[in-house]
Amino acid sequence: MRHDPSVGDLIAQSIRRLRAGGVRLDPGLSDEEVSRLQDRLAFAFGPEHREFIQSALPVGESWPNWRHDSGEDLQGRLAWPVESVLFDVRNNGFWPASWGDRPDLKEDREREARAHLADVPKLVPVFSHRYLTSDPQSKPSPVFSVYQSDVIFYGDDLLDYVAHEFRVPPRHPSDRTHVPFWSDLANGAENADL
């Protein structure tokens, strides 16, 4: 696998900071392990996320253990961002204007919302409810904290995220890559703005 040197440096610095923050790191995943995961769970890691977990695999509480967690657990974590937004569609009136008129029936709302959310970039868990995008065009990916439609930036990139989440300074804010839908929510967009 060929690595982007700037991404490689970001990954190496992130790993050093995680070690300094006391995070347990197991050996990284092999190409074969990554391929099996992606095939079995029908998703793809973004480029820096893949390089990160192939360099070292953070394990412990709140980390997805890509090597040992069950497929069901990992699938639930992969589904969390969309299911979380759907909770707000069902219970809290979340309905972006770009989706058109809000259907009256709850079942119709959920069906239409799922169709719209199928078109947004997929998010892949990093830690707890923190996510990177799987979209290779969103490189480097910002790290999002996703809880229902409450989405915030938790780091401009992986290195900035590690400094922020694990309090291993200095922070490294940089220009954020825009990720459709998720960045809009993180920037405070309301239903009428989406």
Tell me which residue range forms the domain holding 91: 5-193
Plot region of 136 (φ>0 → left; ψ -120 to 50 → alpha; else → beta): alpha
Q: How many domains does the chain have?
A: 1
- What does the pLDDT read at residue 99? 96
- What does the pLDDT read at residue 124? 97
- What does the pLDDT read at residue 4? 47
Q: What angle do CA 171, 173, 177 make, to 5 degrees?
A: 140
**DSSP run (H or E) holding 24:** strand 24-27
Task: Enter the pTM of the model.
Answer: 0.88
- What does the pLDDT read at residue 173? 65
- What does the pLDDT read at residue 172? 64
Q: What is the CATH number of the domain that holds 24?
A: 3.40.1580
The stretches in the chain having pLDDT less than 50 are 1-5
- What does the pLDDT read at residue 56? 96
Structure tokens of 9? 């440096």
Helix axes 71-91, 106-117, angle to 10 degrees: 130
Q: How far apart are the first and last CA of the chain?
A: 37
